[in-house]
Structures are given as structure tokens and as C-alpha cells.
Structure 1
């Protein structure tokens, strides 16, 4: 599947957001700074079924790896399309965020769906010759807590260890 096809599909999926979740969508992943400081995370977008009704996934796509997990969140990386998947495990008012860092200086932040509503997706475009790693934190009203350590680096193009 071409990157243009995936992009158009992602845009079509975002267009079917219901009013209650419309504030979750972001036009493009902008939660990125060079020094690793968190900015407002890009909100994960619920995934639409072929019937155009809104849904979340019980599990991410089979090609999504590697998993990273904490007591409050799970995330995986789908290297075919550079999609980051995240799931908040606690409906406690704190948003789970995955910090995605590249070995070439990019920092991106993907925020989970609120209230532990299932798997959500953030789309990125990583360099094919680069590597990515992941860590979590929780966010509420501009306050962060429960930072985890970074995972090992994984190839952006294959999902295998760098």
C-alpha cells in the first residue's frame, strides 16, 4: 500500500469522527521538539470500521510491534506506515502518552484515547534509515508523572532491534 493511499485512508478515517471524540483529532502530528521536552501530545485517533461506524480496536494490527508496556499503558509500532498505537489501561483522568524518540533528533508524543477507550493510532513519517524508541508518561492539566525508561531502539523500516 502506498504512503499516499495510507494518508488518504487516515484522513478518511479522521473525517468520520463522531462529535464526542472530535476534539481528539489533530490535523498532523505536531507534538515534536528536539530536546525531548514534552509538548502537547498528538491525540490518537479512533479507528473506523469499513461500515464507517466509529470503533476502537481490542488489539492493534498483527504487524504492530514491538510492544512496550507499563502499569498504565501499552503501545506498539507498526513499521509499515510508521503508525504508533497506544492504549491507556486506567480510566483515572490521566492521559497515557507515549514519547517516541528517533536516533536522528525527533521527539514525538502520541496521547491515548481518554477514559481507557481502547487502542488509538498516531501516524508519523520516520526516516527509513532511522531507529525509534519509546517511553510512557501520564499527563493531566499540563502536569506529567510516572515516566518510564526508554525501550531499546528499533529500526523504523523493519521493527527489529537496531
Structure 2
């Protein structure tokens, strides 16, 4: 049985790795690569590379062919530190993807280098009622439903 280190060694022999500095320079040159972020949703929501496609590692094999249909297009896969992306890229290679790069150091090193990140909108920008009167109506309606359910419970006891 292979160890984790055996898997990583085999993946490094098959998959090209680039540091975050190399990836940044590469993208700045205008290379049209697909970026695939395989971190979890909570990690993705805290920030990610601009233009990246999110496919959590646990869903990669099930979703990648739909989200990245061109298997010949250069694809840069990244995670938080570079291990999941390396193994994910190896899985993608087994699915027929040809031009894969794993970003060594991952999003953690990207952030540490203070490179630009796409962030979800802050709650002040994204949330809140567009129509406060409607929100008040909804709250009143829900309170009435709760009271109705309480009355039904009391009557069945």
C-alpha cells in the first residue's frame, strides 16, 4: 500500500508545479489559463483568485468535466497549500486533462505575497432588505404563523 508521501512523489513526477510568484507573473503576461480552486466553500468565500472556478476537492471528479469541458486548455489548480491541488491535478490527468499546473504554496502563499484576491461582497454591500416595509410584513406574517402553531399545539394537549 502506498503512503501519502509515495502519492505526493508520484504526483510531482507527473504534474508540473509553479510557485505563486511564477503563477502571478504567468497570469500577468496574459496567459489564458483556467483557474480551478479546489478548496472548501468556506475557504473560497474568504477569498480566491479572480476568475477562478470553484470545485471543492471532494466534488472534483464529479464536476470538473462540466465546469472545465476543454481538457486541452491549460489549467492551474490550487488549494490552500499545494497538496490537495497536486493530488487533484493528478486525478484530472487521469480524466484526460492534458495541460495541468499545480500552484505550489497555494492560496496561503498567494495571500502572504499580498497578491490581489477576489472577495465576496461585504454584507453591507450585498445584504439587507431592498424594501424595509416588505421585510416588516414578512416578519409579521411569520410571527402570526408561529402563534397559530402554538395555539394548535395547545389545543392538542
Instruction: Assess same fold via TM > 0.5.
Output: no
TM-score normalised per structure 1: 0.30
Q: Which has the higher strand share?
A: 1
* Higher relative contact order, structure no. (Cα contacts within 8 Å, ≥ 6 residues apart): 2
Larger radius of gyration: 2
TM-score normalised per structure 2: 0.30
Q: Which has the higher helix share?
A: 2
